[in-house]
Chains A and B, each alone.
Chain A
């Protein structure tokens, strides 16, 4: 079982729809959760970062974390064609005296149809 599971898609939705992207994880040591957006042939771009369970909102984006279920979500409201990209969840734990690197999901390919 991989540490972080993410449906690769593609997920195709019409413009203006609410998009729900999800990841599940197995290691309860993960403490920090991020969402990145990656356009083709570009580096990932940090969208959201959260630590605690609950919701965090930033414009059209809402990140949700449920640590008890080991489940995180990203919601995109009023989706636009420019939101078409691969969305990667990432998470991080602390161990010993240092910090581990980010553990990523494989990414969900999102297509917003005009």
Chain B
């Protein structure tokens, strides 16, 4: 099976802009989670979608949002970008959260 794919792989934006990241899960996986990884905070949970519904959300401001489509593909959006949003954004898919498989990530740089 093909792994989790994320696009784009690299992105440079300026403060105040918005960005949309895309994730295609492994075929058959209905759970898609998003994580932010930074050197200071490590990996932090953003949200999880299951069958197009947000099932859980981490402690991030409302500028971070996401959605899942009927084919399980997911997007996350960050509005009004801040310098601190520079990070590796990881998408993970699975049949459940105990066995999540991560994609390669999208590296976002906010200038």
Contact = CB atoms under 8 A, between A and B. Distances in A.
A66 interface: no
Interface string B84-111: 0000001010001111111111000000
B43 interface: yes
Interface of A: 32, 34, 36, 42-46, 49, 51, 88, 90, 92, 98-107
The main secondary structure of chain B at its interface with chain A is: strand
Interface residues of B, number: 25
B79 interface: no
B33 interface: yes
Given A46-B99, A88-B42, A102-B97, 19 more contacts: A32-B97, A34-B98, A36-B102, A42-B104, A43-B90, A43-B104, A43-B105, A44-B43, A44-B102, A45-B102, A46-B100, A98-B55, A99-B55, A99-B97, A101-B47, A101-B56, A102-B33, A104-B42, A105-B42
A106 B41 CA distance: 7
A88 B100 CA distance: 13
Contacts of A92: 97-98
B64 interface: no
B48 A99 contact: yes
